[in-house]
Structure 1
Amino acid sequence: MPRAPVYEIDPAAFHADPYPDLARMRAEAPICHVPQLGATLFTRRDDIFAQEKRVEVFSSHQPDGLMSLLMGENMMRKDGAAHADERKATFPAFSPRTVRDHWKAQFEAACAAILDALAPQGGCELVRDFAMPVSGAALRVITGLTQLSPAEIDAASQAMIDGIANYAGLAEVEARCRAATATLDAAVDQARDLDPLSLVAVQRAAGLPDQSVKANVKLAISGGQNEPRDAIAGTAWALLTHPDQLELVRGGAASWRDAFEEYARWISPIGMSPRRIARADSVGGVDLEPEGRVFFMFGSGNRDEAVFDAPERFDITRDTAPSLAFGAGPHFCAGAAASRVLIAEVALPMLFERLPGLRLAGEAPFAGWAFRGPLSLPLAWG
């Protein structure tokens, strides 16, 4: 039977910059097995968009996957009714109306306080000093874990992100992840006097079991901290390195939302989503065997030359509707509305408005392929 062609990678080079390898995969072997990752990769946008919806073949239920083993079985690792029930239970915390009417004002207040403290300094490292605390402050209120600081939220998120991408099986990475999940479980146990629209509160009100409440809180923190953090800093960097694009926003020809959506397409903060092959199937002339592992490479699909013109170019005027930045199908990101409001309606406009003369003050190294973003971003203003 035809098996997926094998594509070898250098893991360190792939972590530093996956885009050259992903472009070759799309051109030469769009469905390929990468031994270093122990998975079959889907790299073309339309294949990912179509196949992600076939949950009977590409199952999110992965009891032996790193996320389930380290963080508990959250709604992202469930299919069908089990997934739908938990998604419905969490919806009151994440609905567009809740975000607009309840959370947005709290996002603005936290962001203003952070900027008030930064403004007199004349410079900062944006990831650490702005993007991280803004994202963490938002998650504190949304989850209900207000006893944790933004820095504690960020540290727990990063430890979990590292843990679920630990395909090399490094013991110290797993240990940090397990310590972080234990901290979050304890915080959920201690959570009292909750905002009724917080994630812990709405799940308890819906009658979800304690292990599901905890697993879904950890899911929200693992994805809801790093993605906004990296997208806030990354979009700011993209605009500052493309001043013509920044002028389009300042002049009203484009919006902050346009800039964020294009950045999330161009450098996808969440670059892939894993699936378990639930039954034998064939896609694109490649036979897939049960219990194999598939990675849907969102970061590759978002640079698919068949869908996006000059996809390697940052262009906030392009149509980003085909983007896979928030996934597709039944597992489309539950926190998309909160992310869009926090980044495009609060953090980015307030950053550029309240720090006049904002400019780069050094290099901004990027890293990652499953999760990608700037490691640091030195800025100055005034």
Structure 2
Amino acid sequence: MTASAPSAHHEISLAELYDDPYPIYARLRESDPVCWLPAAGRYLVTRHSDVVHLERHPEIFRANEEGSLMTRVMGHTMIRKDGDAHRRERAAAEPALRPRIVKEHWQPLFERNTHQLIDEFVARGSVDLFSDFAGPLAARNLACLLGLPNVAATDLQTWSQAMIDGGGANYGDDHAVWARARAATEAVDAAIDEILPRVRRNPDPSVISCMVHADDPLTLDEIRANVKVIIGGGLNEPRDAILTAAWAVLGDPELRTEVTADPSLWPRVFEEAVRWIAPIGMYPRQVAEPTELAGVRLQPGDKIGVCLGSANRDEAVFSDPDRFDIHRSKTPPHIAFGGGPHFCLGTWAARLSVGRIALPILFDRIPDLALSQDEPVRIGGWVFRGLLTLPVTVPAGTAPHSY
């Protein structure tokens, strides 16, 4: 095939992508899988095979993007580094997130947090699982993981959203968004500075402690930047996975009967949820050398938008991709956690906290949980996508947990 210059899609707006990117992605996958999106200032890559190829060649498609929104907000994080620099910082944080540590140390804390939150809202009868359960739970779990007992869940949620709005999605250059992001980063820095003397004296299994006591300890700037990026992804991803999965189960009586009868299926619900609506819908890369992708010529410096939300609904890979189906083939797998050297560091914590704790406990403790008939579910986003509300009703008489 002769390589060509990519076409430009001036007709696609960021607002349309925010409202519902999937019809747009379907058109692009079919006719223009690598295209220029002027509204975002980058080439969108929408097919599963091209995303996999890109992740297998990090020497060509670099994470260290010039002018990165994330770097502007959070500092130079490991997510925007390549090669040895990335490996060094990832290795410093990784011990706190190993599967064995997650299971042995963090699981009891995640279970306690889940039960406590349910106890807090069951008496109210009508709640929003976004604001009353999934958001606070993700924040409490993350505060434990990071080692920030001095931070309230409400603050962590506010900071996370502000940094995501700026560093992950502010392609429209909204100055108010930048101001909120700056305020959040200053608050995160203050919280880290407050806790560092304690973990220097008394090491613990937390991410911050691991960064401080690594064989090659991270600098203060490196700790600050990487804690910020973990607050962003480590809060919104499990939150949105809980909400997507709960919404799917609440809306499908047959699926609900199946998973409540066989709780071993909940991890499948989690995996299908992050395929169906990938919490990280798009992330950036930058081309390092002349190359071709899907027959399109790309040059050094070209900026890429890697559309996981599109790749995970590629009809060439997943049959009936818009349908929620926990029994679909696992081969090829979804790529909601990315791939290559930047495969999500928090994958095991997310799988445990959502698929093996939050969802089974929620539906076990409240078997008659139901979608609200009075308030609609709202959903939005394309760089990060998820439910914005999930109003439900809780029958009277749900018993508190016995600790």
> How high is the TM-score relative to the length of structure 2?
0.92
Name the residue aligned to 1:193.
198
1:129 matched residue in structure 2 = 132
CA distance in structure 2 between the aligned counterparts of 1:23 and 1:254, rounded to whole angstroms: 33
| Alpha-carbon displacement from aligned partner over 1:226-270 (angstroms, at most 9, x marks no partner) | 111111112101111112112221222861110111011011111
User: What one-letter code is carried by the residue in structure 1 that aligns with 2:268?
Assistant: D
- Which residue does 1:294 correspond to in 2? 304
Runs of 4+ in 1 over 2 A off after TM superposition: 192-195
Q: For residue 358 of structure 2, what is the amino acid of its counterpart?
A: A
Structure 2 counterparts to residues 306-317 of structure 1, below 5 A: 306-317=316-327
Paired amino acid for 1:218: K
Question: Retained in 1: the 8 A contact 2:127–2:393?
Answer: yes
Cα separation, 2, equivalents of 1:295 and 1:16: 18
1:365 aligned to 2:378? yes
Give the structure 2 partner of residue 350 of structure 1.
361
**Secondary structure, counterpart of 1:193 in structure 2:** helix
- Paired amino acid for 1:193: R
Greater shift in the superposed pair: 112-121 or 166-175: 112-121
Unaligned runs of 5+ in 2: 396-403
- After TM superposition, list the pairs within 5 Å mapping 1:206-217 onto structure 2: 206=214, 207-217=217-227
**What is the distance in 1 between the residues matched to 2:170 and 2:253?**
37
Secondary structure of 2:238's aligned partner = helix
Mapping for residues 102-251 of structure 1, pairs under 5 Å: 102-164=105-167, 165-191=169-195, 192-194=197-199, 196-206=204-214, 207-251=217-261
Measure, in 1, the Cα distance between the counterparts of 2:346 and 2:35: 31
1:270 aligns with 2:272: no
Name the counterpart of 1:335.
346
Separation of aligned partners in 1, 2:198 and 2:369: 40
How far 1:220 sits from its partner (Å)? 0.7
The residue aligned with 2:400 is none
Q: Deviations over 1:81-137 (max 9, x none)?
A: 111111111111111111000001001111111111212222211100000110000
Pair 1:40 & 2:53 matched = no
% identical aligned pairs:
42
| Alpha-carbon distance between aligned partners in 1 of 2:305 and 2:357, rounded to the nearest angstrom | 33
Q: Matched residue of 2:112: which SS?
A: helix
3-state DSSP of counterpart to 1:375: strand
The CA deviation string for residues 130-154 of structure 1, in whole angstroms up to 9 with x for no partner, is 0011000001111111111111111
Distance (whole Å) between structure 1 residues aligned to residue 17 and residue 47 of structure 2: 18
1:66-94 CA-to-partner distances (Å, cap 9, x unmatched) read 10111011111111111111111111111
**TM-align CA RMSD:** 1.3
**Range 54-63 or range 95-104, more displaced:** 54-63
Which deviates more from structure 2 when the two are superposed, residues 78-87 or residues 331-340?
78-87
Q: Provide Cα deviations, 1:138-186, integer angstroms capped at 9, x if missing partner.
A: 0111111111111111111000110021000000001101110111011
Equivalent residue letter for 1:213: I
User: CA distance change for structure 1 residues 56 and 227 in 2, over 3 Å: closer, same or farther?
Assistant: same
TM-superposed CA distance for 1:277, in Å, is: 1.2
Query: Contact between 1:60 and 1:77, CA under 8 Å: does it hold in 2?
Result: yes
8 Å contact 1:60–1:275 — kept in the other structure?
A: yes
**Unmatched 5+ residue regions in structure 1?**
none
Distance 2:117 2:263 in 1: 29
Q: Give 1:17 shift.
A: 0.3
Size of the aligned set, in residue pairs, is 382
Residues 341-368 of structure 1 show CA distances to partners (whole Å, capped at 9, x for unaligned) of: 1101111111111123100013111000
Match of 1:258 in 2: 268
Give, in whole Å, the separation in 1 of the partners of 2:341 and 2:56. Answer: 7
Aligned-partner Cα distance in 2 for 1:328–1:150: 30
Q: CA separation in 2, counterparts of 1:179 and 1:98? A: 33
d(CA) in 2 for partners of 1:264 and 1:173? 27
- For residues 11 and 139 of structure 1, what CA distance do their matches in structure 2 show? 30
Secondary structure (helix, strand or coil) at the match of 2:67 reads coil
Q: Distance in 2 between matches of 1:60 and 1:4?
A: 21
TM-fit CA distance, 1:381: 2.1
Q: Secondary structure at the match of 1:255?
A: helix
Q: Distance in 2 between matches of 1:14 and 1:110?
A: 34
What is the CA-CA distance between 1:319 and the residue it aligns to?
A: 2.4
Per-residue Cα deviation, 1:24-67 (whole angstroms, up to 9, x for no partner): 00001011111111110110001101112211111001242110
Q: Deviations over 1:257-316 (max 9, x none)?
A: 101110110111110110011122122221111111101100000000000000010011
CA contact (8 A) 1:135 1:229 kept: yes
